[in-house]
Chain A
Amino acid sequence: MTAYLLKRLAIAVVTLVLASMVVFAVLEIIPGDPARLMLGLNASADQIELLRSQMGLNAPVVLRYLHWAGGLLSLDFGRSYTYSVPVIDLVRERLVVSLPLALMALALSTVIAIPVGLFSASRRGRAGDTIAMGAAQLGVAVPNFWFALMLIYLFAVWLRLVPGGGFPGWSAGVWPALKSLLLPAVALALPQAAILARVTRSALIEVLNEDYIRTARAKGLPYRLVLWRHALRNAMIPVVTILGLQFAFLLAGTIIIENVFYLPGLGRLVFQAINQRDLIVVESVVMLLVAAVIVVNFVVDLSYAVVDPRLRGRQ
Chain B
Amino acid sequence: MKLWKTILAAAALALAAGTSAMAARTDLVIGIPLEPPHLDPTAGAAAAIDEVLYANVFEGLTRIGPNGEVLPDLAEGWSISDDGKVYTFKLHTGVKFHDGSDFNADDVKFSLDRARADNSVNAQKGLFAAIGKVEVVDPATVTVTLKNPQGSFLYNMGWGDAVIVAPETADTNKEKPIGTGPFKFQNWAKGSSITLVKSDNYWGAPVFLDKAEFRIVPDAAAAVPALLSGDIQAFPFFDPDSVAQVKDDPRFKVVIGSTEGETILSINNKKPPFDKLQVRQAISFALDRKAIIDGASAGLGVPIGSHMSPASKAYVDLTGLYPHNVDKAKELLKEAGLENGFKATLKLPPPSYARLGGEIIASELREIGIDLEIIPVEWAQWLDQVFTKKDYDLTIVSHTEPNDIDIYSRKDYYFNYDNPAFDKIIDELNLTSDEAKRMTLLGEAQKVLADDAVVGFLYELPKVGVWDAKLQGLWENAPIQANDLTKVKWTD
Contacts and interface: CB of A to CB of B under 8 A. Distances in A.
Contact of B231 (A38, A50, A153, A156): A156
Counting chain A CB atoms within 10 Å of each CB, the highest count among B44, B192, B215, B221 belongs to B192
Contacts of B174: 84
A137 interface: no
B191 A265 contact: yes
B225 A156 contact: yes
B19 to A, nearest CB: 11
A106 to B, nearest CB: 22
Given A43-B123, A90-B190, A38 B226 contact: no
Given A157-B225, A269-B191, A31 B219 contact: no
Given A84-B38, A149-B221, A167-B192, A40 B216 contact: no
Interface string B105-148: 00000000000000111011110000000000000000000000
Interface in A216-273: 259-265, 268-269, 272
Interface in B186-231: 189-193, 215-219, 221-222, 225-226, 228-229, 231
Interface stretch (B80-88, B277-285, B381-389): B381-389
Contact of B228 (A157, A159, A263): A157
Given A33-B380, A43-B123, A268-B218, A153 B45 contact: no
Interface residues of B, number: 46
Contacts of B383: 32-33, 36-37
Given A82-B38, A259-B219, A275-B379, A39 B384 contact: no
A38 B192 contact: no
A165 B231 CA distance: 8
* Residue from the set B44, B190, B399 with the largest chain A CB neighbour count within 10 Å: B190
B46 interface: yes
Nearest to B129: A44
A162 to B, nearest CB: 9
A169 interface: yes
A166 B225 contact: no
B217 A38 contact: no
B225 A93 contact: no
Contact of B221 (A39, A83, A145): A145
Nearest to B161: A42
A127 interface: no
A198 to B, nearest CB: 29
Contacts of A160: 11, 15, 229
Interface in A36-66: 36-44, 47, 50-51, 54
B76 interface: no
Contacts of B221: 145, 149, 260
B119 A50 contact: yes
Interface string A67-102: 000000000000000111100001001100000000
Given A31-B380, A156-B231, A262-B219, A40 B46 contact: yes
Interface residues of A, number: 51
Interface string B162-180: 0000000000001100000
Interface in B68-94: none
A164 interface: yes
A259 B223 CA distance: 10
Contact of B190 (A83, A157, A262): A83
B175 A85 contact: yes
Contacts of B11: 159-160
A277 B380 contact: yes
Contacts of B222: 152, 164-165, 259-262
A122 interface: no
A32 B229 CA distance: 39
A38 B37 contact: yes
Interface in A174-222: none
B375 interface: no
Interface in B357-381: 378-381
B8 interface: yes
A83 B380 contact: no
A49 to B, nearest CB: 10
A268 B191 contact: yes
B218 A262 contact: yes
Contacts of A42: 45, 123-126, 401
Given A43-B45, A84-B174, A156-B225, A165 B217 contact: yes
Nearest to A34: B380
B384 A31 contact: yes
A139 interface: no
Nearest to B399: A41
Contacts of A166: 192-193, 215, 226, 231
B123 A40 contact: yes
A164 B221 CA distance: 12
A160 B16 CA distance: 11
A276 interface: yes
Contacts of A32: 378, 380-381, 383-384
A66 B235 CA distance: 45
A152 B221 CA distance: 11
Contact of B45 (A41, A54, A149, A260): A41
Given A93-B191, A262-B192, A272-B35, A38 B219 contact: no
Given A42-B125, A164-B228, A166-B226, 11 more contacts: A32-B380, A37-B383, A42-B126, A50-B119, A93-B189, A152-B229, A157-B229, A163-B229, A262-B216, A265-B191, A268-B218
25 contacts: A31-B385, A42-B45, A42-B401, A47-B120, A47-B125, A50-B119, A50-B121, A83-B37, A83-B38, A93-B189, A153-B225, A156-B231, A157-B229, A159-B11, A160-B15, A166-B215, A166-B231, A260-B222, A261-B222, A263-B191, A264-B192, A264-B216, A265-B191, A268-B191, A269-B191
Interface of B: 8, 11, 15, 35, 37-38, 44-46, 119-121, 123-126, 174-175, 189-193, 215-219, 221-222, 225-226, 228-229, 231, 378-381, 383-385, 387-388, 399, 401
User: Closest 10 CB pairs between A and B?
Assistant: A40-B45, A264-B191, A32-B380, A82-B37, A264-B192, A259-B219, A31-B384, A164-B229, A152-B225, A157-B228
